[in-house]
Amino acid sequence: MTASRVDFSGVPATMLKTLHLRALDAGSANPVLGDHHAAQAVRRIDHDWRRLDKRGAANAAYAVALRGRIFDDLVAEFLRQHPTAVVLNLACGLDSRAFRLQRPAGSDWFDVDLPEVVELRRDLYAEEARYRMLAGSVTDPRWLGELPAHRPALVVAEGLMMYLTPERNWELLRRLTEHFDTGEVLFDGVAPWVATTTQVLKGYFHRWYRSPAYLTSHRHYPGIIAETPRLRHIADVGVLSDTDAAPDPSVRRYYRIVRKLVDVEDSVRVFRTGF
173 assigned to some structural domain: yes
- Which pLDDT tens digit goes with each residue over 158-172? 999 999 999 999 999
| pLDDT the model gives residue 69 | 98
pLDDT score of 10 more than 70: no
Within 8 A by CB and 6+ apart from 3, the residues are 41, 44, 45, 46, 120, 123, 124
39 assigned to some structural domain: no
pLDDT score of 150 more than 60: yes
Mean residue pLDDT of the chain comes to 93
Exposed/middle/buried for 244, CB within 10 Å: 0-12, 13-18, 19+? exposed
What's the CATH code of the domain at 142? 3.40.50.150
Global pTM value: 0.94
pLDDT score of 21 more than 70: yes
pLDDT score of 3 more than 80: no
What band does 5 get if pLDDT is binned at 50, 70 and 90? low
* Cβ 190 vs Cβ 217: under 8 Å: yes
Mean pLDDT of 91-109: 97
80 assigned to some structural domain: yes
89 assigned to some structural domain: yes
Within 8 A by CB and 6+ apart from 216, the residues are 161, 162, 163, 164, 165, 166, 169, 189, 195
pLDDT score of 2 more than 70: no
| pLDDT the model gives residue 55 | 72
* Integer angstrom CA distances of residue 108 from 103, 115, 152, 253, 268: 8, 21, 11, 42, 29
- Which pLDDT tens digit goes with each residue over 160-215? 999 999 999 999 999 999 999 999 999 999 999 999 999 999 999 988 888 899 99
What band does 48 get if pLDDT is binned at 50, 70 and 90? confident
pLDDT score of 1 more than 60: no
- Cβ neighbours of 34 (radius 10 Å): 18
Give the separation between CA 63 and CA 72, rounded to whole angstroms: 14
- Which pLDDT tens digit goes with each residue over 222-246? 999 999 999 999 999 999 999 999 9
Q: What is the count of structural domains for the chain?
A: 1
What band does 14 get if pLDDT is binned at 50, 70 and 90? confident
Residue 194: give the domain boundaries.
62-274
26 assigned to some structural domain: no
Within 8 A by CB and 6+ apart from 50, the residues are none
